[in-house]
C-alpha cells in the first residue's frame, strides 16, 4: 500500500500524503498488531525523511 501511495511521486507530494488517514479510511490500522503498527510508522518516517532530504537537495 505504501509503495502504491509513494511510487514515482515527487518529494513534495510524498510529504503531503497522510498514509495513516488512508489506512484508517480502509479500516486496516485496527487489524495491525502493535509491532506491525510500529513498523508501519517507522517505514513512513523513513520515507518522509528521505523525501525531505531530496527536497532540500533541490532547493
CATH number of the domain residue 41 falls in: 3.90.1010.10
Note down the domain range covering 46: 2-58
| Positive/negative CA dihedral, 21, 34, 32, 4 | positive
- Is pTM beyond 0.85? Reply is yes
Identify which of 56, 48, 55, 54 has the alpha carbon closest to the alpha carbon of residue 2: 48
- Domains of the chain: total: 1
The packing angle between helices 34-58 and 19-26, to 10°, is 140
Residue-wise pLDDT tens digits, 1-58: 999 999 999 999 999 999 999 999 999 999 999 999 999 999 999 999 999 999 999 8
Identify which of 41, 45, 5 has the alpha carbon closest to the alpha carbon of residue 26: 5
Q: State the pLDDT at residue 42.
A: 98
> Over 90: is that where the pLDDT of 59 sits?
no
Amino acid at each position: 500500500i505504501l509503495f502504491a501511495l509513494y511510487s514515482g511521486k515527487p518529494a513534495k507530494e510524498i510529504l503531503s500524503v497522510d498514509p495513516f488517514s488512508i489506512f484508517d479510511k480502509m479500516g486496516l490500522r485496527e487489524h495491525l498488531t502493535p509491532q506491525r503498527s510500529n513498523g508501519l510508522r517507522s517505514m513512513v518516517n523513513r520515507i518522509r525523511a528521505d523525501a525531505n532530504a531530496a527536497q532540500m537537495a533541490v532547493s
